[in-house]
Amino acid sequence: MAFQDNSGDIIFDVVLTDEGRRRLSAGDGTFNIVKFGLGDDEINYTLYDTTVATQNQDIQILQTPIFEAFTNNTSVMSSMLMSIPRNNLFYLPILKINEVADTQKTQFHSDGVFYVAVDANTENNNDVANLTSSIAYNQQNSLVTGVMLGFSTQKASNYIRIDAGIDNDAVPPSTNISDLFLDETSYTIEIDNRLGTIVSHDGKTRLDNASVDDDNIALYVVSAETDPAFVLVNTDTGPNSAEQVISGARSTYLQFRIASTVNLRQSDFLFNRLGSTTTMTNKGGNTSTVNFIDSLVKVTGINTGYSVDLPIRFVKL
């Protein structure tokens, strides 16, 4: 990664991403650029200086060095720019992880990650006889906080929830966010395709990915209109709702689980190649050695461009 000098002439430095080059190389005449995105990852807006003459207030921002174009599509433009038809808005929507919904089934583990138990042996979900080393269940056979069942996807499990809206009570929850042109109705989910796939929070619906790039990152696209098992309209307008994390106008929320792949269930190859080992407290209150792989799942709002990264740890006894 490098920077382009932006102190003089305006520079256009354009390259195709790896995915773009893959599509171009198909050579079937279907490659056609119809949309593009803009980002401002390099810009520090606190450099705007109101103490100087008007024409110089934004000069430091305009002369900020910008990233040289690079092809890795998993690294470009973390902060997407968005267009809003109104010019009188003081607050913009965000995405926020909800850890208080559904009797805290959406809460992270105390380690600060969401665990995915990848096989039946690690879950010990009572379908496996005479096991006492469960990572997913405690001695009372209750799910351990922050551990998802990555194998038994039809069983009740912890899950991930992401809420969208304006997190400021200056715009009260009773405000219709659609009237502000700030409604978030569609999301993308990016996950390492070697490790996990996306299923609904109840485990009954499995998503098909839209694409898998050269870095094995699978892209899933969901919307309130086409995927009601994943994206729901937040109708709770209470100002002090116990299961809400957005303090202002609320939009939609996304909820899903992660199912483990066959590779992780039936083989230790990826754990040996990409992961390590650690110890976790098991069902009997003792410690068990587990293989683990740390990864990130990225959720992005398509309309707002706002994104959050979720730390995920896949574990296997």
Mean pLDDT of 65-83: 72
What is d(CA 232, CA 243) in angstroms, rounded to the nearest whole number?
15
Compute the C-alpha angle 181/182/187, nearest 5°: 125
Contact 147, 136 (CB under 8 A): yes
With respect to residue 89, please indicate whether it lies within any of the assigned structural domains: no
Q: Domain check: are 120 and 35 in the same one?
A: no
- Same domain membership, residue 256 and residue 108: yes
Which of the listed ranges 61-70, 101-110, 293-302 does the model predict with the highest average pLDDT? 293-302
Does one domain contain both 200 and 161?
yes
Lowest model confidence (mean pLDDT) among 25-34, 36-45, 281-290 = 36-45
Q: What pLDDT is attached to residue 36? A: 73
pLDDT digits (tens, 9 = 90+) for 181-196: 889 999 999 999 999 9
Instruction: Tell whether 86 is covered by a domain.
Output: no
Average pLDDT across the chain, whole number = 88
Question: 209 with 218: CB under 8 angstroms?
Answer: yes
Q: What is the pLDDT of residue 129?
A: 46
Structure confidence by residue, pLDDT tens digits, 144-175: 999 999 999 989 999 999 999 999 999 999 99
| Residue at a domain's end among 36, 52, 81 | 81
Residues 35 and 170 in one domain: no
d(CA 265, CA 52): 62
Of 50, 81, 112, which marks where a domain is finished?
81
Question: For 270-280, what is each residue's pLDDT tens digit?
Answer: 999 999 999 99
Asked whether residue 69 falls in the same domain as residue 98, the answer is: no
Residue 65 φ/ψ, nearest 5 degrees: -55, 140
4 bridge partner residues = 66
Q: Parallel, antiparallel, or unpaired: how do β-strands 287-301 and 186-192 relate? A: antiparallel
Question: Cα–Cα distances in Å, from 181 out to 173, 233, 237, 252?
Answer: 15, 15, 18, 13
- Do the domain assignments include residue 88? no
Q: Please report whether residue 143 resides in a domain.
A: yes
Q: Domain range for residue 228?
A: 94-316
Q: Quote the number of domains for the chain.
A: 2
CA distance 248 to 251: 10
Domain boundary among the residues 81, 116, 148 is at: 81
Q: Are residues 60 and 172 in the same domain?
A: no
- Say if 28 falls within a structural domain: yes
Is residue 23 a part of any domain in this protein? yes
In a domain, 241, yes or no: yes
User: What Rg value do the Cα atoms of the chain yield, rounded?
Assistant: 22
pLDDT of residue 128: 46
Least confident of 70-79, 192-201, 282-291: 70-79
Question: Does residue 14 sit within a domain?
Answer: yes
Higher pLDDT, 132 or 184: 184
Is the C-alpha dihedral spanning 71, 96, 169, 235 positive or negative?
A: positive
| CA–CA separation, 47 and 54 (whole Å) | 14
Percent pLDDT > 70 in the chain is: 91
Residues 142 and 270 reside in one and the same domain: yes
Instruction: Tell me the per-residue pLDDT of 84-122, one tens digit each, with 9 for 90 and over.
Output: 777 888 898 999 999 999 888 999 999 999 999 999 989
Is the same domain home to 281 and 144?
yes
Which residue type sits at 120?
A
Q: Check residue 159 and report its DSSP letter.
A: -
- Token reading at 243: 């299961």
75 and 146 assigned to the same domain: no
Residues 73 and 98 in one domain: no
Is there a single domain that holds both residue 128 and residue 65? no
217, 263: one domain: yes
